[in-house]
Amino acid sequence: MRRVFRTRTFTRWMRKTGLTDDALCEAVSEMVQGLIDADLGGHVVKKRVALPGQGKRGGARTIVATKLADRWFFLYGFGKNERANIDQDELKMLQEVAKELLAFDECQLATAMTAGEIVEVCNGNDPT
């Protein structure tokens, strides 16, 4: 079962851009098929996502924690016009967060969702 989550930080950024949960689920469907823009190491990948009214080329870049299997966590996002990429210090921090989130068991996931730290976007029961 494929489950997709977004962090609180990502959710705040997402609201400002108009990015939708459907777009995130579509991005995960593409990544499952191997369409990843960059493997940054430590179970962190970069994926381009189209923003409303824009294509992927001018759209957003998302940083996702995944083992390319059942769980996908959208950690960070930025517009192409905002910055070119993340720096090494940011990458290290995101890799640490990815390691922690990907190790969560079901109870820890439920606790994080209840606390509002993560939000489930879609799961394997969705048609994505």
Domain boundaries, the chain: 3-119
Residue entry with tokens 């109870």: 107
The pTM for the full model equals: 0.89
How do residues 1-57 score in pLDDT, each as one tens digit?
A: 689 999 999 999 999 988 999 999 999 999 999 999 999 999 999 999 988 777 666
Contacts of 103 (CB under 8 A, 6+ apart): none
In the chain, the amino acid numbered 62 is T
Measured CA to CA, the distance from residue 98 to residue 73 in angstroms comes to 8
